[in-house]
Amino acid sequence: MYGYEEVAAGMTGMARARVARRIAAGAAYGGGGIGLAGAAAVGLLLAEAQLARRRVGNGTTPHVPNADGLYGASYTVPGEPALRLTMLGDSTAAGQGVHRAGQTPGALLAAGVAAIAERPVGLSTVALPGARSDDLDRQVSLALADPSRVPDICVIMIGANDVTHRMPPTRSVRHLAAAVRRLRTAGAEVVVGTCPDLGTIEPVQQPLRWLARRASRQLAAAQTIGAVEQGGRTVSLGDLLGPEFAANPRELFGPDSYHPSAEGYATAAMAVLPTVCAALGLWPADEERPDAARREGFLPVARAAAEAASEAGTEVTAAMPTGPRGAWALLKRRRRRRVTESEPEPTTQPSP
């Protein structure tokens, strides 16, 4: 027998799955009228968002270190090319808020992959602070500009600006799905870090905090469906940093109280790195099997997306062809891999 809490949680999960499925379906078939917040709350939402934005100062004078270059050069083997990693998305993907290249998520991921693969990794970044999902088409064109240098792996982190600028979620997911499709068609693996939980941002007050959390999770679940159905993998960023931010906001928030600090980016990179390595085939086959003890398994993609949106660090990837209940996915709760504690720095620019 299930207790009341288990039944309530299951009903909530199914409701979230239905909303995410409707948003993703609207993105795929041209719908656009599905909103993330009630119309009666829009005025209050905008007023509080403007206050929060003034406190945050997001985008006024963004500082983004240039982290592009070759990581793990000591692993170079003559005749064996470096792996290519490209970061796409918004300020979080670019690393806004830290001061050194080695503190950005791209640098941390590149150094981590190089250490695990024992192969150098060339990092390139096309992510843009302030970007919304409708900028992904331009970023993908940059990433694929040289057909002879298609990335081996692309990491996309996007969604926060879509919520704060009230981009219709169907439009947001449509752009993300198109970006994943283009990259996969070109031969790149794709990992999407879904929309973070904006309810954890320190300057955001109630009721905006509750609305921001609801909107963020709905978009994250819909992003998961859109990305997975195009052959990508997703990692829920969700409230990954929420407990740490709440306990120690001065350490894990950057100076603008909005973007992560170096410690915050390292926490996010630890969650994304295992999925990046799995996409590149760097894990043993037995690690790819679902672990029942960790509550991993196969679910309809909408259910997997809803669960992932509620639990940060959860991976969702396509598992089997579409069946009577729609597409299915494998939900995994991978063990986080510690990134290099010493700050990695690019040794050289990627070789042509």
| Residues recognised as catalytic | 91, 256, 259
What whole-number distance in Å separates Cα of residue 321 and Cα of residue 315? 18
What whole-number distance in Å separates Cα of residue 65 and Cα of residue 57? 18
What whole-number distance in Å separates Cα of residue 104 and Cα of residue 97? 9
Q: What does DSSP say about strands 153-157 and 233-235: parallel, antiparallel, or unpaired?
A: unpaired
Tokens of residue 68, six digits: 């592009």
Edge-first strand order for the sheet with 153-157 is 69-71, 121-125, 83-89, 153-157, 189-193, 233-235, 315-323, 326-332, 297-300
The count of C-alpha atoms lying within 13 angstroms of the C-alpha of 264, restricted to the half-sphere facing its C-beta, is: 32
Are residues 134 and 176 in contact, defined by beta-carbon separation less than 8 angstroms? no
Run of H or E including 4: helix 4-29
Which CA distances in Å does 162 have to 67, 122, 130, 172, 341?
25, 29, 10, 7, 32
